[in-house]
Amino acid sequence: MASRSEEQPGDADPSFIMALGTAYWGSRTLLAANRLGVFDILSGEPMRASELAEKLGLVPAATELFLNACVALGLCEKDQGRFRNSVSSETYLVSTSPASMANAIRYSDNLFSSWGKLEQALASGEPPMAAKTYLGDDRAQTRDFVYGMHDRALAVGRCLPEMIDLCGRKKMLDVGGGPGTYSALITARFPGLHSDVLELAGVAEIAAEILDGLNASDRVTMREGDYHSSDFGVGYDVVLMSGMFHRETAENCRRLIDKARACLEPGGMLIVSDVFTDTGGTGPEFAALFGLNMMLTAPDGRVHADADVAAWMADAGFLEVVRQPFPPPMPHRIVTGLRS
């Protein structure tokens, strides 16, 4: 099937326009159900809408409409008037499930109001939400952000160690490492590798608690600092830059690649992992929309093409620069290179 951008005049189709015009209905339903804790409650036992309404202090008739919509969306199932979680909701939306994405969905919910200000951001060039709100200033939002990154990294980050060979490497710097989850997973996969996670103070504090919970504190050390102004140090044989290029201009990314090069030993590996577009920036769809999401939430937020990152790394003197996509359905890609 031709992509929508390749439509011919006779292919005009109103259905995807109508679907896009109302896409937020389904999204809002998921975000509200997650925020209200519906999936945790339905995980115990199937119940009627009136019972759920009583537990949550909601109006029963409205709750019936809400849960019926959850069934239509595949989030719940209904049997003889009682609602229960679908298999996917039970696996990914119950907060105690090992594969839970509940924190990541709550962080997405925190951004909903910023998406409502898209025209304002386009006119001003400023994100409606100040990045410092979720990077330390507002404790609740910072926790949602850090735990959301952790949930996501537990899913996405499990693939990364399988895509790179770090056998024999000893010292990694995880720049803007967030909750430290990638460091915990990578150092578990490659025994003998220790990671320093460079992070802002407000995030580092929560990350330390996550690393304790993962029993990773002996192989991952949090280092408070700003990746623009802090010295990276020397003697590393791996530098990981995951999910931070989308917060930075091309010039800043090039500067960060140079800083990575300077802290690496000869033969040391730089791994840049992120959501990247194809050349030109118009696809894949998720990556193009992700650029908007970052524009709404960080002063220099955007999305880059992995081909550009590969070129910057080659310009900086990295050898054997390779681009690799994560396995589907993950939208991430990595670019790796070796210090000459």
Q: How far is the CB of 188 from ligand SAM (least distance, A)?
A: 16
**With binding defined as CB under 6 A, does residue 115 bind ligand SAM?**
no
Judged by CB under 6 A, which of 219, 247, 254, 302 binds ligand SAM? Answer: 247
CA 255 to chain centre: 23
**With binding defined as CB under 6 A, does residue 137 bind ligand SAM?**
no
What does the DSSP assignment read for 113-144?
A: HHHTTHHHHHHH-S-SS-HHIIIIISHHHHHH
Q: Residues touching ligand SAM: how many (CB under 6 A)?
A: 18
Q: How far is the CB of 279 from ligand SAM (least distance, A)?
A: 23
**With binding defined as CB under 6 A, does residue 186 bind ligand SAM?**
no
**With binding defined as CB under 6 A, does residue 184 bind ligand SAM?**
no
**Closest Cα to residue 249, out of 186, 322, 302?**
302
Judged by CB under 6 A, which of 38, 75, 94, 149 binds ligand SAM? Answer: 149
Are the CB atoms for 307 and 274 separated by under 8 Å? Answer: no
Q: Would you say 36 or 155 has its CB closer to ligand SAM? A: 155
Are the CB atoms for 160 and 185 separated by under 8 Å? Answer: yes
Question: Pairing state of beta strands 171-175 and 236-242?
Answer: parallel
Does the bond joining 14 to the residue before it have cis omega, within 30 degrees of 0?
Answer: no
Judged by CB under 6 A, which of 83, 182, 236, 276 binds ligand SAM? Answer: 182
**With binding defined as CB under 6 A, does residue 153 bind ligand SAM?**
yes
Helix (H, G, I), strand (E, B) or coil at 7: coil
Give the footprint of ligand SAM on this chain (CB under 6 A). 135, 149, 153, 176-178, 182, 198-200, 203, 226-228, 242-244, 247
